[in-house]
């Protein structure tokens, strides 16, 4: 069965099994904190929702199939990131992070894990620079494309290098989703994502997941979740399942729109560098074509100044100014307003939604003209 068919049928019985007469086509969320569980606890599939829940299980089954591994859901992308660090790292361990990763991943290692004796080494995503600082590392953390600079690294090459040094490899796969790029198939041990973004895509819930191939590794992640209580409510899991069914439609449209927007912006004299892996001018375009199935919704670009970027965002009628990406509605923000990324004052991160591309391009055109006029 093709992946798209599997995703559209998420939550339905696997063929040749069929729904029973009177079954709802899509089941609802199971709102239960506790389940009837007499006698030996191992005899009951569900006991207590901090351990397991039927709605989670359906979603995890679908995510596992998409990733090619075993998936565990978490209440946000950061809860998933934290689960990997907490489950695998111990005092004295070294983690190698991208210097240009999503900034909260760097902040949490600096503010919390460093005080538990975990050392962090930073190197850029571009040119696979992390390969040079692997010696003695326990965990190599990749993020490709990196948010917000859209640099790309070679997952296969870095995984092989890290494995030679005895390090595990985790990839933050938020931007492309597992439909757009499959870290486990490319040799990584762990695929982590904020499913708040494209995977669920409606800007209405926070979610994350961790996927692995190895059952022993999964047991450590599951143990952390069970003990820490870093769990997802059934309603969020159910909403995510509804959204997952349309991921192929959304990601394809968003990626087409992002490509057209990137090409449009690159042709405009008011715009400086455009960062999008689908552009032939991206320094790692050929690598991106090899390891990604979709280039995803995020296009970053430089406007000449903070004032022009602010006027551009104000003048746009269709871009919601918001600090997230991957939603069905296009959005953008001036990234330097957070002060945590190494970007210029006029750097804009745009997320292409599912609108008609003619409307988006016309809107961007008028917003660029209004922001640079006079």
**DSSP strand pairing (168-172 vs 139-143):** parallel
Closer residue to ligand PLP, CB minimum distance, 80 or 315: 80
Q: How far is the CB of 105 from ligand PLP (least distance, A)?
A: 6
Cβ-proximal residues to 143 (8 Å cutoff; 6+ apart), any chain? 98, 100, 101, 102, 105, 125, 171, 172, 174
Q: How far is the CB of 31 from ligand PLP (least distance, A)?
A: 23
Distance CA 135, CA 336 (A): 33
**3-state SS of 15-46?**
CCCCCCCCCCCCCCCCCCCECCCCCCHHHCCC
User: Which one, 10 or 80, has the nearer CB to ligand PLP?
Assistant: 80
Q: Which position among 174, 177, 181, 344 is part of the footprint of ligand PLP (CB under 6 A)?
A: 174
* Residue tagged 């008028």 (tokens): 366
Distance CA 311, CA 270 (A): 13
Closer CB to ligand PLP, 336 or 357, in the complex = 336
Measure the CA–CA gap between 104 and 347, rounded to whole angstroms: 19
Nearest distance from residue 9's CB to ligand PLP, in Å?
26
185 contact partners, CB below 8 Å, separation of at least 6: 68
Tell me how far apart the alpha carbons of residues 144 and 244 are, in angstroms, rounded to a whole number.
21
Residues 6+ apart with CB under 8 A from 164: none
Residues 55-94 that bind ligand PLP (CB under 6 A): 76-78, 81
User: Which residues, 6 or more positions from 128, have their beta carbon under 8 angstroms from its beta carbon?
Assistant: 153, 154, 157, 158
Q: How far is the CB of 373 from ligand PLP (least distance, A)?
A: 33
Consecutive H or E run containing 254: helix 247-266
Kindly tell me which of 236 and 302 has the beta carbon lying closer to ligand PLP.
Answer: 236
Q: Least distance to ligand PLP from the beta carbon of 103, Å?
A: 9
Residue 78 or 153: which CB sits closer to ligand PLP? 78
# chain residues binding ligand PLP, by CB under 6 A: 13
- Binding pattern to ligand PLP, positions 286-315, x when CB under 6 A? ------------------------------
Contacts with ligand PLP in 206-265 (CB under 6 A)? 206, 208
Minimum distance between the CB of residue 240 and ligand PLP, rounded to whole angstroms? 12
Chain centre distance of CA 315: 29
Query: Shortest Cβ contact with ligand PLP: which residue?
Result: 77
Helices (H), 68-200: 77-88, 103-111, 155-164, 177-180
C-beta of residue 348 within 8 angstroms of C-beta of residue 149: no
Q: Which two tokens stand for residue 7?
A: 């995703």
Q: Least Å distance between CB 132 and ligand PLP?
A: 23
Q: What's the closest the beta carbon of residue 259 comes to ligand PLP, in angstroms?
A: 20
Between 102 and 264, name the residue whose CB sits nearer to ligand PLP. Answer: 102
Q: Interface mask (CB under 6 A) for ligand PLP, residues 120-159, using x and -?
A: -----------------------x---x------------
- The least distance separating ligand PLP from the CB of residue 341, rounded to whole angstroms, comes to 11
Q: Which of 58, 100, 172, 310 binds ligand PLP (CB under 6 A)?
A: 172
Q: Which of 144/371 has CB closer to ligand PLP? A: 144
Nearer to ligand PLP, 208 or 297 (CB): 208
| Beta strands 347-351 and 331-334, pairing class | antiparallel
d(C-alpha 1, C-alpha 318), whole Å: 38
The verdict on 102 binding ligand PLP (CB under 6 A) reads yes
Q: Which is nearer to ligand PLP, 292 or 368 (CB)?
A: 292
Among 82, 125, 177, 196, binds ligand PLP (CB under 6 A): 196
Residues that bind ligand PLP (CB under 6 A): 76-78, 81, 102, 143, 147, 172, 174, 194, 196, 206, 208
């Amino acid at each position: 069965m093709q992946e798209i068919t599997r995703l559209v049928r998420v939550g339905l019985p696997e063929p040749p099994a069929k729904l029973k007469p009177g079954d709802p086509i899509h089941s609802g969320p199971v709102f239960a904190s506790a389940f009837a569980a007499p006698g030996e606890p191992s005899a009951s599939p569900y006991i207590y929702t901090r351990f397991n829940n039927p709605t989670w299980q359906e979603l995890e089954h679908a995510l596992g199939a998409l990733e090619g591994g075993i998936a565990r859901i978490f209440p946000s992308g950061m809860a998933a990131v934290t689960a990997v660090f907490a489950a695998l790292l111990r005092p004295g361990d070294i983690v190698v992070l991208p210097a240009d990763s999503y900034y909260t991943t760097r902040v949490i290692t600096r503010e919390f894990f460093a005080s538990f004796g975990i050392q962090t080494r930073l190197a850029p995503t571009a040119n696979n620079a992390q390969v040079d600082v692997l010696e003695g590392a326990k965990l190599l953390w990749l993020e490709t494309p990196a948010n917000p600079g859209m640099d790309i690294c070679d997952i296969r090459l870095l995984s092989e290098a890290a494995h030679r040094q005895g390090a595990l490899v985790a990839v933050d796969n938020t931007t492309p989703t597992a439909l757009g790029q499959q870290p486990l198939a490319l040799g990584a041990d762990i695929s982590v994502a904020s499913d708040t973004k494209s995977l669920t895509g409606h800007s209405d819930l926070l979610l994350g997941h961790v996927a692995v191939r190895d059952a022993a590794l999964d047991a450590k992640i599951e143990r952390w979740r069970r003990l820490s209580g870093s769990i997802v409510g059934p309603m969020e899991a159910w909403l995510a399942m509804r959204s997952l069914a349309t991921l192929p439609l959304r990601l394809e449209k968003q990626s087409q729109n992002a490509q057209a927007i990137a090409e449009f912006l690159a042709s405009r004299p008011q715009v400086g560098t455009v960062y999008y892996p689908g552009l032939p001018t991206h320094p790692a375009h050929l690598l991106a074509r090899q390891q990604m199935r979709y280039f995803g919704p995020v296009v970053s670009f430089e406007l000449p100044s903070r004032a022009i970027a602010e006027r551009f965002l104000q003048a746009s009628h269709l871009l919601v100014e918001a600090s997230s990406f991957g939603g069905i509605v296009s959005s953008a923000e001036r990234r330097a307003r957070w002060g945590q990324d190494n970007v210029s004052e006029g750097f804009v991160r745009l997320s292409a939604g599912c609108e008609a591309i003619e409307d988006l391009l016309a809107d961007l055109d008028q917003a660029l003209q209004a922001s640079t006029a006079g």
